[in-house]
A and B are shown apart, each in its own frame.
Chain A
C-alpha cells in the first residue's frame, strides 16, 4: 500500500498509509490524532470553499472575479501592505508570496519570526550545530527536552527519537537517556525510565542553570552546594556528565525557551554553552533540534535565503529589497502598515490583544482554507486547497530536511492552491511580465 507524508505538524511523518478511492479518504493508518484531524479537514464543517467578501458588515459569497478585483483594489489603495503567515504553505507558495511582496512594495514575514526563526537568526553570528531525525534514531544516545512537551504537541516525536531502534544498534529505549528540563511536570515525564533525569526548574531561572553550566565547563567544582534554580547538586553533576559524555546528544528546544527577556538573551547564552560543551566533548557532540509547530515553519528562511539572499523578513521599496530592522511585531505595534494579507495562519488568535486589535483595524485579506478567528474580521477571504492532501509541493521538516508532499484528492470547486492563487495575484499587478 502506498505511503504518504502527513502535513499535520512539523514532523512530517512520511509513513502514513492512506486508503482512498480518489474522492474520499476511507482510512488513515499510522497517523496520530493531529495528523488524522488534518486529513479530516477536507470535509470539515469550517472549511471555506468559495470566496467571501465583507459587505455591510457581513460576509457574503461572491465569484472569483469579484473577490480578486476587491483584493486588487485594497492593495492598490495601500502604500505599505503587510504580508504575514506562510508557515502552512509550500516553499513554492512562499516564493510566490515574496514575489508578490516585491510587486506591491510590501513587507513580508512568517510565523517563524516570533517562533524558532529567532534561534536561526542568532545562529548566523555564532554558529549552530543542527541534527536530523534519522541521525537521532540511528545514533542518538542522549535526548534533552528543554521547555518542550512533545508528548502533547508533536505526538510521534518521542516514538521516533526515543523508542525506536536504529540501524546500528540492537537496543532502542535502553541505550537512550532522556533528560527533561521543565518547570511543570508535563505528559512527557510519564515516559521516563530509571536511568533518566527529570529536572524541575524554577520558572524563569533557565539563565541561572545555563550560566552555572558555563562556569562548570571552564572550571570544575563551581556548583554551589545548595544547587541552582531549584535543582539539586547531584542532579546537576549527572546532567553535566551526560552532556560531556554523550556520543550523539540532542537538545530539543521548545517554546518555553523562546520567551524574550529584558536584561539578557537566553538563546545567545544557550548557543554559547553549546559551543563550550562541544569543546569539552570527548566522544561526540551535542546538537540542537528546534521544535516548531506549523508544518513549513523552517522553510521560509531557506526560501528567502535562496531567492533574495536574506533570512527571515523582507522589506521591498520601489520593487527592490531594502534593509529593515522591523519585525512583524514592531510593524504592527507602530501601525506602520495600511492593509494586511494573511496567508494560512490565524494571527488574531495567536497574537496578544494589543497587537491583534491593531491588525483588525486595517483592511485584511485572508488566504486560508478554513474559518478561524481571523476569518471573522477579514474583509476578503480567498479559499485555497489543503496542502499535502489536495495540492503537492516542497516543505521543510523541523530538522531542516526538505520533504515532498503529495496530492491525494482533487480540491472541491476547483479551488486553486496557495501557489496558484498568489501567482494569479502577481499577474494582476505586473500584467503577466516576468
Chain B
C-alpha cells in the first residue's frame, strides 16, 4: 500500500499490468522495476519517482518470496484468521460459521488453531500465490487479527 501511494495511479496500462495496484504488488515482489512504469519517468512525477527509488533502495529488482509470519507470543488462538481466510472457506465450509475445521486438515487449508496457537499449514495455496487479478492483493488475515500477530512480508 505504501508503494501504491507514490505511483501515478492513472491505471494507464502502459506497463502491461491492468492496474497500478497490480504494478505496485509486482514492484514489492521484485518482479518489475520502477523504471518499467512509463508515466513516472515524466518530469511531473519526479518527486514520487525519487521517493520510490529511496523506499525500495538496493533491493529493487531482486525476486522476493512471500512469507506469512504468525507471532506465537502474540497469538491467542481466537481463530479469526481461520474463519476469514477465503481459501479456508472454500475447502472447509464449516469454518465459515466459526466452527473449528476437521483434523487432520484438508490439504488446501492455510490456517488451523492447534494447541491454543494459530499455525500456518501451507503457504502454496494462499491467494497471493494461487489466484488471478485483484484476489492476489488479499490480506484479510493480517487486517483482522486483533492481536496483530500475523504479518505478510516479502523476503
Are the chains A and B members of one assembly? yes
Q: Which residues of A contact B (CB under 8 A)?
A: 1, 3, 13, 15-17, 19, 27-37, 137, 151-152, 155-156, 158-160, 163-167, 172-173, 187-188, 190-191
Given A151-B78, A172-B96, check contact A28 B116 (CB 8 Å). Answer: yes
Cβ of B87 to closest chain A Cβ, rounded Å: 15
Residues of A contacting B145 with CB < 8 Å? 190
20 intermolecular pairs with C-beta atoms under 8 Å apart: A16-B100, A17-B100, A27-B115, A29-B112, A30-B101, A30-B113, A31-B100, A32-B113, A36-B116, A137-B97, A151-B146, A151-B147, A155-B76, A155-B78, A160-B98, A163-B84, A163-B144, A164-B97, A167-B97, A173-B84
Cβ of B11 to closest chain A Cβ, rounded Å: 22
Please provide the 8 A-B residue pairs with the shortest distance between their CB atoms, ordered closest to farther.
Answer: A30-B100, A36-B116, A164-B98, A155-B78, A32-B77, A151-B146, A160-B98, A33-B116
Interface assignment of B54: CB less than 8 Å from any CB of chain A: no
Cβ of B115 to closest chain A Cβ, rounded Å: 6
B146 contacts A191, C-beta separation under 8 Å: yes
Could you tell me the dominant secondary structure of chain B's interface residues? loop
Cβ of A406 to closest chain B Cβ, rounded Å: 16
Chain A residue with Cβ nearest B140:
A173
Total A-B residue contacts, Cβ distance less than 8 Å: 103
Bound complex: CA of A152 vs CA of B75, how far in Å? Answer: 11
Residues of B contacting A151 with CB < 8 Å? 78, 146-147
A166 contacts B78, C-beta separation under 8 Å: no
Task: Give the size range of B's interface with the partner.
Answer: 20 to 34
Bound complex: CA of A355 vs CA of B103, how far in Å? Answer: 48
Bound complex: CA of A191 vs CA of B115, how far in Å? Answer: 23
Q: Which residues 98-155 of B have a CB within 8 angstroms of A? A: 98-103, 112-117, 144-148
Cβ of B114 to closest chain A Cβ, rounded Å: 5
Known: A15-B99, A32-B113, A137-B98. 13 other contacts (CB 8 A): A16-B100, A28-B115, A29-B113, A30-B79, A31-B113, A155-B78, A159-B80, A159-B83, A163-B84, A164-B97, A165-B97, A188-B146, A190-B147
